[in-house]
A = this chain, B = another copy of it.
Amino acid sequence: MKEITIQQNKVLDCIQEYINKTGFPPTRADICRKLGFKSPNSAETHLRALEKKGYITIESGASRGISLVNHGNDHDNGFPIIGLVAAGSPTLASENIEKTVNCPANFFGSNFDYFLRVRGLSMKDAGIMEDDLIAVKKTQDIKNGDIVIARIEDEVTVKYFERKSPELIKLKPANKDFNDIEVDLRNTEIFIEGKSIGLIREN
């Protein structure tokens, strides 16, 4: 997805906020009022830039014809719940989807991509229990201490992430009955699916 400028992002946020508040999109003039522009053409040019970059669509001729494009994820019908099987990677393939959960994309503050159903108690002390649903954000932006979804040679696991050195990654469980997993990148391949940014428990 193409990058957008700070001003274009302000316009995008403004549209989002307007729709949330009123239920319908703003006019050029509405955007001007909100952002302090003096000419409707200021809004127009930003809108056209956002349209060109794929963030919105504009219905030609119609008033308030702006609609936000859901990009990255198409979670109109809810977010998929993916079962965490001991072996095999969690994919968004439909056969792995238990069901879907309807909630806002920014439910956990930041956007996320899918839910993972937890098996086992290796993260018990982090409050992650069997059958809990972890909200997973697909990202490579991982910091030490993040709870990551990692795949090591077809084995998928949820653990604390800790980079010990450029070649050594430690995956730490939150349960003293489980052992740390040390991954030497020189002889083992590891893929970080993403990180946990939230949790849902149904009981």
- Per-position contact with B for A58-86: 1 when CB-CB < 8 Å, else 0? 01001111111000000000000000000
Highest count of chain B CB atoms <10 Å: which of A66, A102, A201: A201
For A102, the chain B residues whose CB sits under 8 A away are 103-104, 107
The distance in angstroms between the C-alpha atoms of A132 and B129, with both chains bound, is 14
Interface positions of A from 23 to 63, Cβ below 8 Å from B: 23-25, 27, 59, 62-63
A156 at the interface (CB under 8 A from B): no
Query: Within 8 Å of chain B (Cβ to Cβ): is A197?
Result: yes
Q: What's the least CB distance linking A137 to chain B, in Å? A: 11
Task: Confirm or deny: A202 has a beta carbon within 8 angstroms of a beta carbon on chain B.
Answer: yes
Question: In this assembly, does A203 line the interface, its C-beta being within 8 Å of a C-beta of chain B?
Answer: yes
Return chain B residues, CB-CB under 8 Å to A202: 108-109, 197-198
Are B203 and A201 in contact, with the CB atoms below 8 A?
no
Q: Name A24's contact: one of B25, B104, B109 (CB within 8 Å).
A: B25
Which bucket holds chain A's interface residue count?
35 or more
Return A31 CB to nearest CB of chain B, in Å: 14
Q: Determine if A169 is an interface residue (Cβ-Cβ < 8 Å).
A: no
Determine the distance from Cα of A19 to Cα of B200 in the docked complex, in whole angstroms.
Answer: 26
Among B24, B107, B127, the residue within 8 A (CB) of A65 is B24
Is A22 located at the chain interface by the 8 A CB criterion? yes
Residues of chain B lying within 8 A (CB to CB) of residue A22: 59, 65, 67
Q: Which residues of B contact A126 (CB under 8 A)?
A: 129
Verify B127–A201 contact, CB threshold 8 A.
Answer: yes
Tell me if A183 is interfacial: C-beta within 8 Å of chain B: no
Identify the 9 closest CB pairs spanning chains A and B, nearest first.
Answer: A23-B67, A199-B201, A63-B63, A127-B129, A127-B127, A64-B64, A108-B202, A24-B25, A24-B64
